[in-house]
């Protein structure tokens, strides 16, 4: 994803994630994008980065476009798109979903919107 697209997607994701994050972690010290992403447990952050890399690889291979990612995010179908990227993406998605369901990160309900910001996590 291009830098402007990453910024847009991460901003939209955080707007959607913020209420769930606030409910699941009362008194969370940071309200900015970097703070939220950096406050994730290291193992969850690593899995999200790995999934981000898979998405970026598919964009570079022309099997997925930035426009598709944005459209699927807005339509609430990003999960299906990610799962269609193959077994590795599907496994990572399941692990992330389970971690969030079990109290790591902002909560399971925030998973799809958070994944919309994955492109902005690349270093």
User: % helix / strand / coil in the chain, to the nearest 5?
Assistant: 75, 0, 25
Domain total in the chain = 1
**CA-CA-CA-CA torsion sign (117, 36, 94, 92):** positive
Q: Which of 34-48, 83-97, 100-114 has the highest mean pLDDT?
A: 83-97
Tell me which residue has tokens 């994730």.
40
In this predicted structure, what is the pLDDT of residue 18? 38
DSSP class of residue 85?
A: T
pLDDT > 70: percent of the chain: 54
End-to-end CA distance of the chain: 12
Instruction: Give residue-wise pLDDT tens across range 5-64.
Output: 554 454 444 334 434 444 444 444 334 445 566 677 888 888 888 888 888 889 889 998
What is the pTM (predicted TM-score) of this model? Answer: 0.64
DSSP assignments along 63-109, one per residue: SS-HHHHHHHHHHT-HHHHHHTT-HHHHHHHHHHHHHHHTTSTT-GG
In this predicted structure, what is the pLDDT of residue 22? 43
């Amino acid at each position: 994803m291009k830098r402007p697209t990453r910024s847009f997607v991460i901003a939209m994701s955080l707007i959607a994630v913020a209420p769930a994050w606030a409910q699941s972690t009362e008194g969370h010290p940071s309200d900015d994008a970097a703070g939220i992403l950096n406050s994730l447990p290291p193992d969850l952050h690593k899995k999200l980065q790995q999934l981000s890399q898979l998405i970026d690889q598919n964009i570079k291979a022309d099997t997925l476009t930035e426009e598709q990612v944005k459209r699927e995010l807005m339509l609430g179908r990003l999960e299906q798109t990610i799962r269609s990227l193959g077994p590795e993406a599907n496994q990572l998605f399941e692990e992330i979903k389970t971690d969030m369901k079990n109290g790591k990160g902002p909560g399971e309900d925030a998973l799809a919107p958070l994944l919309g910001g994955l492109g902005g996590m690349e270093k």
